Amino acid sequence: MVAEILTVLAPQPGEIAVDGTLGYGGHAQEILARILPGGKLLGLDADPVELPKTESRLRALGFSAEIFAAHRTNFAGLPQVLAAQQIPGADMILADLGVSSMQIDDPTRGFSVKLDGPLDMRMNPQRGQPASSLLQKIDPEALVKLLVANADEPNAAHLAPALAGKAFTSTLHLASTIRTTLPRLSKDDSEGTVRRVFQALRIAVNDEFSALDTFLRLIPEHLKPGGRVAILTFHSGEDRRVKKAFASGQQAGAYARISDEVIRPTPAEQHSNPRSASAKLRWAIRVK
């Protein structure tokens, strides 16, 4: 949804941009091209594996340290990044939530439901516990709650006793156990459940909802007057949080305008990039 994001953020030469989820740097690259000359983009990402690759890629495209800075941090650390850069506020803030294609396509990271690898799922493999440890330690009751809260999983109660407290060696071991625990589901429903269980575990392992809540709370005070924020979400748990935070920001007088409706990818984009199908974009504009 590059075009939609650029319309919402409307980057202009000389402006300061924050990309809270740098990933491959696809959005950042487009924003950078529009804020030059005179602008600067701060790219944040929690992932120490992919971030250096993206930094090198953007440097090779000619974006020097003066106009682009990469920070290996959770986006909940936004105030520290702005302080380190001696930047009081941003003209635009972007977040494109979840995991990147590079992370999913690297079997060693454990995000993929199709490629075998260790059941890890940490965006920063140097911190926290892998999904395998979480599953081994959790009891069935707590796992039901986690699957419902993080993925609205309808089969949570049936699945939890087969997964909680068990030692899963790999991603495909977990995926096949989910399928065999629910033999009566159609193939589509079964694959939907596999995806939702992986999503729920990923959200828990990376503490994604509390990072998002913190980020949403911090955004208004770190936007310049008239600054724009755009957040791209991929499931209802994320979208609910963004919708609520923007509405309460507007009520509190921090935002002058917020999106009434979510913006969705065009049918052509959904067709060419199936991972975009669940994307929802919301925006808000800081009061002047």
> Given the rule CB under 6 A, which of 8-16, 98-106, 130-138, 182-190 is the region that contacts ligand SAM?
98-106
Cα 162 to Cα 160: distance, rounded to the nearest angstrom: 5
Element (H, E) at 92: strand 90-96
For residues 16 and 31, which CB has a smaller minimum distance to ligand SAM in the complex? Answer: 31
Amino acid at 198: F
Q: Are 157 and 144 in contact (CB under 8 A)?
A: yes
Both tokens of 81, joined, read: 């990044």
For residues 160 and 200, which CB has a smaller minimum distance to ligand SAM in the complex? Answer: 200
Return the residues of window 167-226 that contact ligand SAM according to CB under 6 A. 211
Element (H, E) at 69: strand 68-72
Under rule CB under 6 A, residue 100 binds ligand SAM: yes
DSSP lists the bridge partners of residue 263 as: 281
> Given the rule CB under 6 A, which of 31-39, 95-103, 108-116, 250-258 is the region that contacts ligand SAM?
95-103
For residues 178 and 280, which CB has a smaller minimum distance to ligand SAM in the complex? Answer: 280
Cα 52 to Cα 55: distance, rounded to the nearest angstrom: 5
Under rule CB under 6 A, residue 25 binds ligand SAM: yes
Under rule CB under 6 A, residue 98 binds ligand SAM: yes
For residues 32 and 143, which CB has a smaller minimum distance to ligand SAM in the complex? Answer: 32
Return the residues of window 58-87 that contact ligand SAM according to CB under 6 A. 74-75
Q: What is the largest CA-CA distance in the chain?
A: 60
For residues 104 and 182, which CB has a smaller minimum distance to ligand SAM in the complex? Answer: 104
Q: What distances in angstroms separate CA 120 from CA 112, 163, 207, 254, one per listed residue?
A: 10, 15, 14, 39
Number of residues that bind ligand SAM (CB under 6 A): 19
Contact residues for ligand SAM (CB under 6 A)? 21, 23-27, 44-47, 50, 74-75, 96, 98-100, 123, 211
